[in-house]
Amino acid sequence: MHATMRNEEDRRSRIMSEAAAHFLRDGYERTSIDRIAAGARVSKQAIYELCRDKEDLFEQVVRAEMGIGLAQDLREEGDLRSTLEAFTIDLIDKFATPRNYGLFRANIVATRQFPQLAAALHEYRRGASRGLVSCLERLEAQGVIGRISGSALDLSTRLGGMAVEGTRYFLGYDLPNRSQRWDQARLAVEFFLNGMGKACRADGVDSYPTCCAALPPWEGKAQLRLKPDRFAALCRAAADEFLAHGFEGASLDRIMAATGVGRSTIYRQFGNKNGLFRYVIGREVEALAALELDVPEGADLGARLKLLSRAALDLHLMPRSIAMHHLLVQESALFPEIARYFYDTQVNRLGRPFQRMMESEGLGAPAPAVMRVFHTLATFGVRYIASLRAVEAEERDAVSDQAAAIMMHGTIKRDSR
């Protein structure tokens, strides 16, 4: 290879490697061309010879990372449970690697600004479960598992979603240690095979903090120096700005223009932009948490679970809720306590009626990890967070029916158990 070509290839490799490190670790908003250039030991002009702008570089990097592939083989381990547990722990381990975790997080953050890339990333994520698809199709043909609804890929995605607990580790929680991964793998497989009956009593389900205890009120504070109506207008405008543009991209100038409130007043009220974010987004989280779910009436427990799943999904799919997920995944490193608070309130909102319903059926209070699994099933993990498409009533019904069916009896036919 000609020396000039080798130098150009080496320079391109350094740029792409440095850009990937920053984008996957720090996210799109907090990565700058200046930092990439410094780390790659090249000029900014050299980067712009490779791409049009930062957006183009981000897309090139992410698509190159997807090209590495995430295919996962299914190793036969004797019986079905052992095979699924080995598959599931391997999936969790791969999820937790910095590269894949960064890509999965990029999937969520990219949704609004890069919708086509986000769609491709979502399919890449689903690819982590493709090794299970042919196995499920074979088991269905043999009559071992029953068709719940949807495709085999949807069903395998359900197992993966339960294994990594949906959005939990994108919303401020540290990735699980090895022991917690095994506990969650076993729990996910138990649900997948048999539903919540045995899973509620499985080893490890109580190894996490409770999710249904009352949470303390949000502690963000502001000095109330404005009249109540102007203060409320300021909070609404600031929340809208952060939800639309993120913390870094939000402009105090736009908030000031929308409300007529001066910069000095905002600083007196909240201290700085950080304090403004904590206060107004904390209020938004509380407002979403206040949308209570009722305990549904129904002919039997399965019908009630479907109705509760559907009600939870409808709240989850509210535009304000989806926008809050996008914002707090993007800002989880800077505001982890708010992100965790948001995740917990979402689980609690579903967990309270779920617990009352289970107790009314004489089944006792479910373990916290079981509540989180039900929340993941009801909302379908990150599927609808990673897409901006409309979800029609027919699909919502099908998703809720599938969630309730897995909760009630899993996937294994009773005469095959």
Domains of the chain: 3-66 (1.10.10.60), 80-209 (1.10.357), 228-288 (1.10.10.60)
When pLDDT is averaged across residues 227-254 and rounded to a whole number, the result is 93
131-144: b (≥16 Cβ within 10 Å) or e: bbbebbbebbeeeb
Read off the tokens for 21: 């490190």
212 has pLDDT over 50: no
Length of the chain: 417
Burial 244-257 (b: 16+ CB within 10 A, else e): eebbeebebeebbe
274 pLDDT above the threshold of 70: yes
d(CA 28, CA 55): 9
Calculate mean pLDDT across residues 229-233: 91
pLDDT tens-digit series, residues 385-412: 988 889 999 999 999 999 999 999 888 7
Q: What is the pLDDT of residue 400?
A: 96
Q: What percent of the chain has pLDDT over 70?
A: 87
pLDDT for position 336: 94
The whole-number pLDDT of residue 171 equals 95
User: Averaged over 215-232, what is the pLDDT?
Assistant: 72
CA 384/CA 386 separation, integer angstroms = 5
pLDDT of residue 217: 58
Q: How confident is the model at residue 268 (pLDDT cuts 50, 70, 90)?
A: confident
Residue 340 has pLDDT above 60, yes or no: yes
**What is residue 416's predicted lDDT score, i.e. its pLDDT?**
44
Tokens 């359900």 belong to residue: 158
**Which has the closest alpha carbon to 162: 186, 198, 130, 137?**
186
The yes-or-no verdict on residue 146 having pLDDT over 80 is no
The mean pLDDT value of the chain amounts to: 85
Separation between Cα atoms, residue 1 and residue 8, nearest integer Å? 11
Q: Is the pLDDT assigned to residue 330 strictly greater than 80?
A: yes
pLDDT at 215 over 80: no
- Per-residue pLDDT band at 207 (split at 50, 70, 90): very low
The three-class DSSP label of residue 411 is: coil
- What 3-state DSSP class applies to 145? strand
What's the first-to-final CA gap in the chain, in angstroms? 62
| Paired tokens of 385 | 């967070």
Q: What is the pLDDT of residue 387?
A: 81
What is the per-residue pLDDT across 51-69, written as a single tens digit (0 to 9) for each?
899 989 988 888 888 766 5
Other CB atoms within a 10 A radius of the CB of residue 2 amount to 7
The angle subtended at Cα 142 by Cα 305 and Cα 403, nearest 5°, is 15
Counting beta carbons within 10 angstroms of the beta carbon of residue 261, is it exposed (0 to 12), middle (13 to 18) or buried (19 or more)? buried
What the block records as the tokens of 298 is 């129904």
Q: What confidence score (pLDDT) does residue 198 get?
A: 63
**Cβ distance 87 to 72 under 8 Å?**
yes
pTM: 0.87
Q: Is the pLDDT of residue 24 over 90?
A: no
